[in-house]
Amino acid sequence: MEPIPFLRGLFDACVAHAQPGAAIARHLPAPPKGRTVVIGAGKASAAMARAFDALWPKDLPLTGVVVTRYGYVPASAAPVPGRIAIREAAHPVPDGSGMAAVAEIREAVASLSADDLVVALISGGGSSLLPSPLRDGDLRAEQRLNDQLLRSGASIRDMNVVRRHLSRLKGGRLATLCHPARVVTLAMSDVPGDRLEDIASGPTVADPSTCEQALHIIERYGIEVDGDELQALRTGALETPKPGAAGFSRDKAHVIARPASALRAAAELALSQGVACHVLGDAIEGESRDVAVVHAGIAKAARLGHAFCTPPCVILSGGETTVTLPRDPSFSGSGGRCSEFALAAALHLDGEPQVWALAADTDGIDGRGAAAGAFITPSTLADARALGLDAARSLGEHDSGTFFQRLDAQVTSGPTHTNVNDFRAILIL
């Protein structure tokens, strides 16, 4: 067995399982009496729109607009005249193109009737792709908010609680713009727990969180927010639509792809090749470097026969870890939570024989840079020293991207047109 190709094969199986075509086919809604309008946002939204367009009967009217990250439009997903328009915008910090796409989405759902159907195609990344500042046109305020949240070390759930309450569209507010039309949300989960309100900050589903919770998170992480907005949170003036509200009574929402299923596909491939597989879970959170220490410790114990698995075996996990970045605007580190996990794991394994690992984001991009993640081998630290690289210093500076680029140990896939969170695999032989 070649360890790195084996691990890459597991990652590819995970990504392939989460492609949107078959998932949308299983959840295609019945045609309405009136019009069908498709809206959406996220890293997978262009591929989702393509799949929906292909599945929807050609003799039935279909219009709409979705927005995805720059470079995430599949080559064959060019807009069909009169069907679904595809727009591109910035991620993870929103830009003017995102604002323009939001204006198109608002126009697409204006003046709908109770006979019409809105299909919302939602996937991870949609929070930044749907910029909708409380003050019309104040994009810089939303950019500052997103940048602070990304550097704060807050979990994705906490970040999205804040985003939902400081937005004109998130937290179910986009759905209210669509009413009285019925809204069917088809979502691909990239969040621990697969909570619909957390996927792209839940623009088309009711929000169970509160202004009080958002305020607590802002205070806990020292997020700078305009004084008027803080006061509006304190008074509850920015409360979001809640579960049980009459406006959502006809709406439906489905998670059509989730991390657990994608991990299961990778596990089945490992088992088919005679390698025992143990899935630690699909909802693991925490600082990347801390999660890496735990994973590396399990791998060490497994190699010595002191864990729940014995070699040859592979340990899989998913979820979304965090990396708390410096607030210094001059910070220039590269990489993301997956490559930081890999670097921290390499340091903790410290050349442990017969242990290899791969960590990559299933959307194809890990934080800053063009790689999906990185892999490590028993010789990673020795190879780094031979190149004059200091692994501990790179980790301290959150520059794992440069570290693995120099080692030629990055996982590169390009945009995968799906997003079911992070993928981690450790092989013990």
* Tens digit of each residue's pLDDT (9 = 90 or more) over 403-419: 999 999 999 999 999 99
**Cross-strand partners of 122:** 41, 187
pLDDT of 326 reads: 83
CATH no., domain 3-12+259-428:
3.40.1480.10
HSE of 301, CA atoms in CB hemisphere, 13 A:
11
Alpha carbon of 288 to those of 299, 386, 396, 426: distances in Å?
16, 26, 12, 15
pLDDT of 136 reads: 83
* Confidence tier at 137 by pLDDT (50, 70, 90): confident
Report the C-alpha gap between 217 and 154 in whole angstroms.
8
DSSP symbol at 356? E
Structure-token pair, residue 20: 């949107």
**Pairing of β 36-41 and β 422-428:** unpaired
pLDDT of 82 reads: 53
pLDDT of 328 reads: 75
Regarding predicted confidence, which is higher, 80 or 139?
139
Q: Three-state SS for 277?
A: strand
* Tens digit of each residue's pLDDT (9 = 90 or more) over 168-215: 999 999 999 999 999 999 999 999 899 999 999 999 999 999 999 999
* Confidence tier at 332 by pLDDT (50, 70, 90): confident
Q: Give the other-Cβ count within 10 Å of 76's Cβ.
A: 8
- Domains 3-12+259-428 and 31-257 agree in fold: no
- Taking residues 381-398, what's their average pLDDT? 97
Q: Give the other-Cβ count within 10 Å of 110's Cβ.
A: 10
Structure-token pair, residue 99: 């604002």
Report the C-alpha gap between 174 and 207 in whole angstroms.
12
User: Among residues of the chain, what percentage have pLDDT more than 90?
Assistant: 90
* Tens digit of each residue's pLDDT (9 = 90 or more) over 236-257: 999 999 999 989 999 999 999 9
DSSP symbol at 333? -
Question: What's the one-letter identity of residue 265?
Answer: A
Determine contact, residues 122/204, Cβ cutoff 8 Å.
yes
In this structure, whether the domain defined by 31-257 belongs to CATH 3.40.50.10180 is answered with yes
Task: Determine if residue 369 is left, alpha or beta; phi over 0 gives left, psi from -120 to 50 gives alpha, anything else beta.
Answer: left
* Nearby residues of 337 by Cβ (< 8 Å), 6 or more positions away: 288, 320, 321, 322, 323, 361, 366, 367, 422
Total-model pTM: 0.92
Dihedral sign for Cα atoms in the order 356, 359, 365, 369: negative
Using alpha carbons, select from 144, 124, 125 the residue that is nearest to residue 135: 144
Residue 223 has pLDDT above 60, yes or no: yes
Residue 348 has pLDDT above 80, yes or no: yes
User: Among residues of the chain, what percentage have pLDDT more than 70?
Assistant: 98
* Nearby residues of 82 by Cβ (< 8 Å), 6 or more positions away: 62, 63
* Confidence tier at 77 by pLDDT (50, 70, 90): very low
Residue 311: cis peptide before it, omega within 30 degrees of 0: no
Average pLDDT score over the chain: 94
- Read off φ and ψ for residue 30, nearest 5 degrees: -75, 145
Report the C-alpha gap between 166 and 283 in whole angstroms.
26
- Taking residues 53-62, what's their average pLDDT? 94
Report the C-alpha gap between 205 and 182 in whole angstroms.
12
* Tens digit of each residue's pLDDT (9 = 90 or more) over 276-316: 999 999 999 999 999 999 999 999 999 999 888 889 999 99
**Cross-strand partners of 121:** 40, 186
Determine contact, residues 57/222, Cβ cutoff 8 Å.
no
Spans of all domains in the chain: 3-12+259-428, 31-257
Q: Three-state SS for 267?
A: helix
pLDDT of 75 reads: 80
Helix (H) or strand (E) holding 386: helix 380-386
